[in-house]
Amino acid sequence: MKALLSLAPGGPETLVLSDVAEPVAGAGELLVRVVACAINFPDVLIIEDKYQFKPERPFAPGGEVSGIVEAVGEGVSGWRAGDRLIALTSAGGLAEKVAVPAARCFRVPDKVSMVSASALLLTYATAIHALLDRGRLKAGQSLLVLGAAGGVGLATVELGKAFGARVVAAVSDADKAAAARDAGADDVLIYGRAPFDKTQAKALADAFKDKAGRGGFDVVLDPVGGDYAEPALRAIGWEGRYLVVGFPAGIPRLPLNLTLLKSCDVCGVFWGAFAARDPHGNAAHVETLFALWDEGRIHPRVTATYPLERAGEAIARLGARGAIGKLVVVVDPANG
């Protein structure tokens, strides 16, 4: 079978399409024929050895797939050949087949596109865990979403509206602003490109405060980091929750006196660890996501697709922060 392999640390240009032996379903696993693999920021990091999970080489990146069950491993019940699913693979998704622990697999309703389904899990499950478990978001509260045109960002905008919040989307250009509005954002702020000097940082903080209104934001979701973090924290309200999701713009240093003055929380959002520690809670969230999708209240936005041999282009585009919504590699077009 074909797989796109990382043979040595490096950028997307170092990935090599190779022939490899087919995996087998071990105990507790499903053998999955991959239909589509969504690209996420960990794919940018993992091939450069900058991610916390470092698989042994050679390996294929790709942590999120949709596919069809080909074989069921020993000890697995409730699955059979031909079932459609989405799954977390950690790595290995950019291949024609992958063996996945059954506990990381979720059934896909028949009427859902497999390409769209591949783009649901990491972004929307991160967002729902962030908003409900860590952010304690309630109807009528205000939510600021940084990087709001990315995968997690758009998912958060949609879910924020589904849960009854007033949502302000912060993005870097007009096209991304249009995407955020299309996802349901009540208001949009276009910020400049970091790095910022003190004057620019203060201006951004003031712009966030203007959008927040007198009380400040109840919840801020930050999948960006860098110089955007402190200005956003300055716009948070009393007992607000600042949700730390990722750092493509760099790891920020926050002045903790702000947390004291606002009596606010800075909360880490590590969805992968949550899913491993509380699989029943995570499964309930996934069930909620499919219900919201069925009701038309969310819809994963796949803005570009690539064949397996061009998956490196998708990883490069995401790494350059040039993507709106999700980029998906279609491995098996006949079943997409």
Distance CA 150, CA 163 (A): 20
Q: Pick the closest to residue 183 from 148, 218, 217 (CA basis).
A: 148
Residues 210 and 212: their CA atoms lie apart, in Å, by 5
Cis bond upstream, residue 195 (ω within 30): yes
| E strands in 138-235 | 142-145, 166-171, 187-190, 217-222
- CA 49/CA 236 separation, integer angstroms: 34
Ramachandran bin of 18, using left for φ above 0, alpha for ψ from -120 to 50, beta for the remaining angles: beta
Gap between the terminal Cα atoms of the chain = 19
CB count within 10 Å of CB 124 equals: 26
pLDDT of 320: 86
Give residue 334's pLDDT: 85
Task: Provide the pLDDT for residue 313.
Answer: 96
Q: How far apart are CA 26 and CA 43, in angstroms?
A: 25
Helix (H) or strand (E) holding 122: helix 121-128
Please give the pLDDT value at position 74. 96
Q: Which residue do the tokens 């459609």 mark? A: 84
Query: Among residues 144, 164, 172, which one has the least CA distance to residue 234?
Result: 144
pLDDT for the residue 249: 86
Q: Where do the domains of the chain lie, and which CATH numbers do they carry?
A: 2-120+300-335 (3.90.180.10), 122-272 (3.90.180.10)
For residue 79, give the DSSP letter: -
The model's pTM is 0.89
Structure tokens at 255: 């002045």
- The answer to whether the CB of 23 falls within 8 A of the CB of 31 is yes
User: How many Å apart are CA 167 and CA 181, to the nearest integer?
Assistant: 10
pLDDT string in tens for the chain (336-residue length): 999 999 999 999 999 999 999 999 999 999 999 999 999 989 999 999 988 888 999 999 999 999 999 999 999 999 999 999 999 998 999 999 999 999 999 999 988 999 999 999 999 999 999 999 999 999 999 999 999 998 999 999 999 999 999 999 999 999 999 999 999 999 999 999 999 999 999 999 999 999 999 999 999 999 999 999 999 999 999 999 999 999 888 999 999 999 999 999 999 999 989 999 999 999 999 999 999 999 999 999 999 999 999 999 999 999 887 788 899 999 999 887
Element (H, E) at 17: strand 16-19
Torsion of CA 290, 292, 298, 300, to 10 degrees: 0
pLDDT of residue 325: 86
